[in-house]
Amino acid sequence: MFTALYELLIGKNPDPTYRNTVFTPVGLLTVVIMLALAATFYLLLGRWQAVFHRTSHWIITLVIALIIAFSLAVSYAKDATGEPEADSYMLGFGGVNLILAGLLFFGFSLLFRRGSKFARYTPF
């Protein structure tokens, strides 16, 4: 599933390493990390106290999530291919993973928002 999505958005790479060892683990890790961040924001912090619950806090959490997603994709691709520096395909892969992470975080936010009693001021 992730392989088809990444290849559709950034194109096919002749190196089979991406297809065989990079796309699926990075996609699954991105889903798990975004799920954990959204659950932490809404179900842990949003139910605990009215300390970290406003729109600015949601945006800070989103930016952290996007940074994690981009760096996860690029570093995993560098490790798997053995390249010392990131090339344009790795950066494109990181960008696509960043977009995927943003969509996932937004979707999980919609899912978990009802579980938070203090997160009334998030963007939606």
pLDDT given at position 48: 66
In angstroms, the CA 113 to CA 124 distance is: 9
Tell me the pTM: 0.88
pLDDT given at position 83: 87
**Per-residue pLDDT tens over the stretch 15-72:** 888 898 999 999 999 999 999 999 888 877 766 666 667 788 889 989 999 999 999 9
Q: One-letter amino acid identity for 108? A: F
Average pLDDT over residues 75-83: 91
In angstroms, the CA 6 to CA 18 distance is: 10
